[in-house]
Structure 1
Amino acid sequence: MSLKIYSDGGSRGNPGKSAFAVVVTRNGEILEEYTEFLGVHTNNYAEYRGLICAITKALALKDDDVEFVMDSELVIKQMRGEYKVKSPDMKELNDDAKTLSSLIPNVRFTHVRRENPMISRADFLLNQTMDRN
């Protein structure tokens, strides 16, 4: 069965203290959780860093069918090519995410509302990380 990887990034202030979290699942079961403090950055930067980490986790698991799930409609639409990336800093992150995700044969990018339980879990984890730093 395919992997479903949830990621969320956030900052307190924009820019401000930032972090991301990733929740890796298969068949609804959590396989791994990961979070990282990023220092002072924008929310979009944190969202992209979370997605890049999620893609890296998928590549390490060598799964050829992966769905990446985020509550960032902007990042999801940029990854699908529905929105252009205007910021040079975000363009580099978007290029990195696209290059990495192209190594996965069957990849999907899905937007969900923040109320999604796994996105809520990722949000909780990243806020814990920001609290500790």
Structure 2
Amino acid sequence: MNEQAVKIYTDGASRGNPGPGGYGVVLLWGKHKKELSKGYRLTTNNRMELMAVIAALEALKKNNLELVIYSDSNYVVKAVMEGWLKKWIKTNFKGNIKNRDLWEKYQELSTNHRIHFKWVKGHAENIFNNRCDILATEAADGKHLLIDEGYEEAKNNKLL
């Protein structure tokens, strides 16, 4: 991996599953550091884990970057690294795969970069993962929570 790779740490949280949730992101590139977070009134932990990755990709101002994304979510890391997502896309998400809206958004954004995922143990000694956890939980506990339209629409249409 290139020393100039952008390092991205992500985490998602929800208070109940479903419940209020949030995500936290720390982006590192050279001497630059940027933090992102948002909270939602009703969502799931897996959605917040994936939304953190999407928010990080959306925040990038250049294309064709080498990215190393650190996540404590087996769901996100394995879906990409073990080819689950490729299979879901190939079968048009047959079998009622959850979070299709977010996976399609991730796939669209990911084609602009060279992405490597690394799983990290949550709530351990990684300071950036721990910072993401703080950002995510503070966002979930915040006041002006957003609507996770993809989740609430699926819930209202009984797709969950």
Structure-2-length-normalised TM-score: 0.73
Q: How far does residue 78 in structure 1 lie from its aligned partner after superposition?
A: 0.6
1:128 aligns to 2:138 (yes or no) = yes
Distance 1:82 1:25 in 2: 26
Gaps of 5+ in 1: none
C-alpha distance in structure 2 between counterparts of 1:79 and 1:87, whole Å: 18
What letter is aligned with 2:40?
A: L
| Residues 79 and 98 in structure 1, CA contact (< 8 A), matched pair in contact too | no
How many equivalent residue pairs? 130
Query: Aligned letter for 2:78?
Result: K
For residue 132 of structure 1, give the secondary structure of its aligned residue in structure 2: coil
Unaligned runs of 5+ in 2: 89-94, 144-160
CA distance in 2, matches of 1:87, 1:73: 19
| Match in the other structure for 1:93 | 102
Alignment of 1:12-27 (within 5 A): 12-27=15-30
Q: Which residue of 1 aligns with 2:118?
A: 110
Higher strand share: 1
Distance, in Å, in 2 between the alignment partners of 1:23 and 1:71 is: 14
| d(CA) in 2 for partners of 1:81, 1:53 | 22
Any conservation in 1 of the 2:12–2:23 contact (CA below 8 Å)?
Answer: yes
Q: Which amino acid aligns with 1:93?
A: L
Q: Give the percent of matched residue pairs that are identical in Structure 1 and Structure 2.
A: 26
Q: Give the Cα–Cα distance (whole angstroms) in 2 for the partners of residues 93 and 81 of structure 1.
A: 18
Q: Which residue of 1 aligns with 2:72?
A: 71
CA distance in 2, matches of 1:111, 1:3: 16
Flag the structure with larger Rg. Answer: 2
Contact 1:23 1:30 in 2 (8 A): no
Aligned match of 2:92: none
